[in-house]
């Protein structure tokens, strides 16, 4: 390469000219903003949550009430007025929303993905995909209103006559509807990436389209499907407005019933939990906002305590989802 001195002499070096450097720096700063955003989120959550927990607050010289980490993680009562900040009732509410929405979104989402990737004609797909995107695009505050104004009365009239005005069921239904596109689009991408040779091999063996879809395409795309499940559940955990409006404001642990199985009675989570008002983590955060947040009191700081828990859970799930997608991905060349 070095022999080509003439070319080097004649070439104008432009990579490091002031104009190129300036432009390059500008673009780099833009990209770096995303790192700063993450750093900002972590900094704010950690520094404010640190003033909430007793163990860390004493090092920061915070005066006023604090809550110990153990009480926060194991407390079974959450009461803003009573200054009791146990996160378990809120986790229990979030779990209900997750289970309820997953029961709706996961099967429907996978079925949609199979239909779009294996059965639908390009024309049908061109109409269905934007329609599905609308499900995820409807503002969540509108979903909350739908749940409380239309879905709960319908459930009350036809299925559960004694359902509460605020209840976990209608909130789960709308959250389930809004995360269907998340499951279907990521799963469909995974299914579309399955090479046609595998399908052709199946048909060559005499398999029907049903056999190929369920026996070849779905297993081959399983890593993408699982990662879409985790992402959708993480979205359901972080969903705020729909549950803040429709799920209620009664933080309580999952009620248990029990069945007699001979000598012992086995406890089981009572499904009736869904028919009453509950409060998930995000709902509690919205409610905390209506206590005094300007002064930086205990309610304000507990907001960050719950926030860092929420952030940790969703971040963990996103990382697991990425890991599954890349670790168990079938590589086709």
Query: What's the chain's length in residues?
Result: 333
Q: In the bound complex, what is the minimum distance in angstroms from residue 88's beta carbon to other proteins?
A: 20
How many alpha carbons fall within 13 Å on the CB side of residue 108? 16
What's the CA gap between 206 and 3, in Å, rounded? Answer: 63
13/261 with CB nearer other proteins: 13
Radius of gyration of the chain (CA): 26
273/303 with CB nearer other proteins: 303
SS3 (DSSP) at 147: helix
Q: In the bound complex, what is the minimum distance in angstroms from residue 28's beta carbon to other proteins?
A: 5
The Cα-based distances of 263 to 256, 266, 268 in angstroms read 19, 10, 16
Cβ-Cβ contacts under 8 Å for 201 (sequence gap 6 or more): 216
184/273 with CB nearer other proteins: 184
116/168 with CB nearer other proteins: 116
The Cα-based distances of 316 to 43, 138, 155 in angstroms read 18, 26, 35
Q: In the bound complex, what is the minimum distance in angstroms from residue 299's beta carbon to other proteins?
A: 13
96/325 with CB nearer other proteins: 325
190/273 with CB nearer other proteins: 190
What's the CA gap between 110 and 218, in Å, rounded? Answer: 9
Contact in structure between 68 and 55 (CB atoms under 8 Å): yes
Q: In the bound complex, what is the minimum distance in angstroms from residue 169's beta carbon to other proteins?
A: 15
130/257 with CB nearer other proteins: 130
Residue bearing tokens 């029961």: 103
Q: In the bound complex, what is the minimum distance in angstroms from residue 151's beta carbon to other proteins?
A: 8
84/314 with CB nearer other proteins: 314
Could you count the other beta carbons within 10 Å of the beta carbon of residue 221? 26
Q: In the bound complex, what is the minimum distance in angstroms from residue 140's beta carbon to other proteins?
A: 7
272/289 with CB nearer other proteins: 289
Contact in structure between 322 and 72 (CB atoms under 8 Å): no
Residue bearing tokens 């052709």: 200
Q: In the bound complex, what is the minimum distance in angstroms from residue 132's beta carbon to other proteins?
A: 7
C-alpha 173: how far from chain center:
15
Contact in structure between 155 and 169 (CB atoms under 8 Å): yes
Q: In the bound complex, what is the minimum distance in angstroms from residue 257's beta carbon to other proteins?
A: 30
Residue bearing tokens 């002064």: 295
What's the CA gap between 60 and 66, in Å, rounded? Answer: 12
Residue bearing tokens 């091999």: 201
Contact in structure between 271 and 254 (CB atoms under 8 Å): no
Q: In the bound complex, what is the minimum distance in angstroms from residue 24's beta carbon to other proteins?
A: 6
């Amino acid at each position: 390469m070095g022999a080509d001195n003439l070319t080097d002499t004649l070439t104008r070096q432009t990579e490091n000219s002031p104009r190129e450097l300036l432009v390059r720096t500008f673009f780099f700063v833009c990209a770096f903003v995303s790192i700063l955003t993450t750093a900002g989120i972590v900094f704010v959550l950690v520094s404010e949550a640190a003033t909430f927990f007793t163990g860390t607050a004493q090092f920061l010289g915070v005066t006023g009430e604090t809550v110990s980490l153990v009480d926060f993680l194991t407390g079974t009562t959450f009461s803003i007025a009573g200054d009791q900040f146990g996160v378990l009732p809120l986790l229990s509410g979030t779990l209900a929303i997750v289970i309820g929405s997953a029961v709706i979104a996961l099967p429907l989402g996978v079925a949609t993905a199979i239909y779009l990737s294996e059965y639908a004609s390009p024309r049908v797909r061109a109409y269905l995909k934007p329609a599905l995107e609308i499900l995820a695009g409807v503002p969540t505050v509108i979903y909350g209103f739908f749940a409380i104004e239309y879905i709960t009365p319908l459930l009350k009239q036809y299925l559960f006559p004694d359902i509460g005005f605020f209840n976990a069921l209608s909130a789960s239904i709308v959250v389930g509807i809004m995360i269907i596109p998340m499951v279907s689009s990521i799963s469909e991408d995974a299914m579309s990436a399955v090479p046609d040779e595998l399908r052709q091999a199946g048909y060559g063996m005499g398999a029907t389209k049903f056999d190929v879809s369920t026996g070849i395409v779905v297993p081959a795309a399983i890593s993408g499907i699982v990662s879409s499940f985790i992402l959708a559940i993480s979205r359901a955990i972080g969903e705020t407005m729909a549950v803040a409006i429709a799920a209620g404001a009664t933080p309580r642990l999952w009620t248990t019933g029990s069945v007699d199985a001979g000598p012992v009675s086995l406890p089981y989570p009572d499904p009736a939990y869904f028919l009453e008002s509950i409060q998930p983590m995000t709902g509690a955060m919205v409610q905390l906002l209506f206590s005094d947040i300007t002064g930086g009191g205990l309610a304000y700081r507990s907001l960050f305590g719950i926030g860092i828990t929420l952030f940790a859970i969703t971040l963990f799930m996103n990382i697991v989802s990425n890991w599954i997608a890349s670790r168990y991905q079938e590589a086709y060349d």
